[in-house]
Amino acid sequence: MTYATDEHACMAAVRGDGLLDAARAVVLDELTRLAAYVFETAISTVTLVNRDRRWFADSTGMPDPKARATPRSAHA
């Protein structure tokens, strides 16, 4: 895995990995639960961002909406 340092490379990596719109992964569920525990928070999310939207790949402490994608400008 490579780590991108600029926005265009990051977005290309997100598209190339096929993570957007993917089914929830068990490892992401474990990661969000661990993060909430370690940082003593009620909510933890893994969020992927591309040019047009944010994709909540997984969350702990939040309802699991059927459509987890939101327009990027909605929270900007």
Residue 39, pLDDT score: 96
Q: How many domains does the chain have?
A: 1
Euclidean distance between CA atoms 39 and 43, whole angstroms:
10
Residue 66, pLDDT score: 46
Q: Can you tell me which residue has the tokens 């400008």?
A: 73
Residue 41, pLDDT score: 95
More reliable by pLDDT, 33 or 65: 33
Report pLDDT digits (tens) over 11-59: 777 777 776 767 767 888 899 999 999 999 999 988 887 777 788 888 8
Contact call for residues 68 and 56 (beta carbons, < 8 A) = yes
Range of the domain at 70: 7-74
2 domain residue, yes or no: no
- With cut-offs at 50, 70 and 90, classify the pLDDT of residue 68: low
1 domain residue, yes or no: no
pTM across the whole model: 0.58
34 domain residue, yes or no: yes
